Structure 1
């Protein structure tokens, strides 16, 4: 087995060789589980890309760990989809990871509807801190980022050094287009979040997600009233 690339032994030359050697998304996923074994997880929001990656990952490792950051503020459709996925892939280890504070405890400490006043702090408490705890137990994580999604994601590679979480971030779908995602879902008859049928290309917490008008950036419905388009997990 080849040497495991971790945050502590990061090497730019090794990264460049890996990104040149890995030919496609399945190569990336197979490599990830061969090298990191049980020291890798997939952090999934259960959007369209997430459903595709779950299906691909299950073909390589049917018992993989899938982490969902359960903020307690997601759409009912998202929670319903997760239950469908659990039934379809019973061997996957789907973990509902919650923040240290409930929504009520957060309101008591920071005031009601923190997401309306300080969305960055709300995301930090309900997403970043919980994921940091999970990633502290592994060496690498998989993400469904695609270059097409936004300007800030155009330079993502298959294998990335993740300075925020001191980890290795692996992104198998970087070259996929939105149409590719949906073609795969339909060809494989996969369950998906029904909000996608109502102009929600990117789905997060219910309070911070709006439908997107035709022609707009896919993430323009996230935190629409703020100068913010990322929760902070990806930098």
Structure 2
């Protein structure tokens, strides 16, 4: 096992040394599993980046733990894709994380269609709280963030101190472009969410996702009727 970077003993100088020693995405993934082993979790939304990362991770650790935040509000196409991925990568440990509240209980406690009235609270209940529990026993987690995705993600490093979840967040694909993602998917004949072919570059819950506007912002279809741009998993 490599000497691990941890949230509680985080050292900026040491982190930078590790980052500079990693030449590319595969070295990042290999370092992550060699360092954290079973204490590493990949939180995957099964978007295009997620499909690429699963394929890359499978080359390094076939029994990797993959968690999917199942809000009960995802598109049927997303659930169908996850089943395809289970069949293609049978050794992966893919887990569905459910919120404590069912949709019915959430409606009773918070009112109906909370995602329309207060999407931040809805994301907190159905995404952030479940991931907090999943990461409670982990030392680090992997994310498919790319710098190109949005201004808020432009300074993401391979290895990040995650203040949100008091953890270490590892992002192997930060330097990949959208074109790189699709080149990899096509060259390797990987399954992907068919909604990508219908104008959805970024796919979240069905109630809060529409096709992206022609602005060059891949996330412009997320919470399109709100000022919200992130679900809260990656930024405070």
TM-score normalised by structure 2 residue count: 0.99
Residues 1:146 and 2:140 are matched in the alignment: no
Aligned length: 235
CA distance in 1, matches of 2:177, 2:4: 30
Distance 2:174 2:15 in 1: 16
Gaps of 5+ in 1: none
Q: CA deviation at 1:151?
A: 0.3
Name the structure 1 match of 2:81.
Answer: 81
| Corresponding position: 1:219 with 2:212 | no
Alpha-carbon deviations, 1:34-55, whole Å to 9, x = none?
0001000100000000000000
| Separation of aligned partners in 2, 1:2 and 1:36 | 8
Cα separation, 2, equivalents of 1:133 and 1:115: 22
Instruction: Identify the residue that residue 3 of structure 1 maps to in structure 2.
Output: 3
Partner Cα separation in structure 1 for residue 10 and residue 75 of structure 2: 38
Distance across 1 between alignment mates of 2:214 and 2:229: 18
1:98 deviation in Å? 0.3
How does 1:108-147 map onto structure 2 within 5 Å?
Answer: 108-147=108-147
Cα distance in 1 for partners of 2:82, 2:122 equals 23
1:170-181, aligned counterparts within 5 Å?
170-181=170-181
Deviation string 1:47-99 (CA, Å, 9 cap, x unpaired) is 00000000000000000000000000000000000000000001000000000
Runs of 4+ in 1 over 6 A off after TM superposition: none
Aligned to 1:13: 13
Please give the secondary structure, in 2, of the residue aligned with 1:38.
helix
